[in-house]
Amino acid sequence: MTPRLIEQLEQVQKDLARNVAEAAEIGEHLIELGLRLKREPWNWSIDWVETAFPESDGTRPFDPEFVEALNKPRIAWLLEDIRMLRRREAELKKLAVA
């Protein structure tokens, strides 16, 4: 295995680990968001609703990380990037064996 190949594999594995950790964090936020909505759906709002209806109605905005977890394009990109990195990791491992 060449030093360049080792370096590429290490970088792919590092990127993959970072993206998987981010996806797991988003999943945790979605779980917490769902639990909060299940317990008290009337008590929460997304940030844009907060500006339309002041806190006088008793609602609270979700924390920004929960709102970010609802970013569908970001999640789609992240999952596609994870798939691509897994394919690249497998390719590099095959080259290492050859």
pLDDT in tens, 18-75: 999 999 999 999 999 999 999 998 888 876 544 555 555 677 888 888 888 889 999 9
β-pair partners for 45? 61
The residues, any chain, with a CB within 8 Å of residue 60's CB and separated by 6 or more, are 43, 44, 45
β-pair partners for 61? 45
pLDDT at residue 47 in the model: 63
Q: Give the helix/strand (H/E) hosting 45.
A: strand 44-45
pLDDT at residue 74 in the model: 92
Between β-strands 44-45 and 60-61, what pairing exists: parallel, antiparallel or unpaired? parallel
pTM of the model: 0.79
Which of 74, 73, 66, 72 has its CA nearest to residue 45?
66
pLDDT at residue 83 in the model: 97
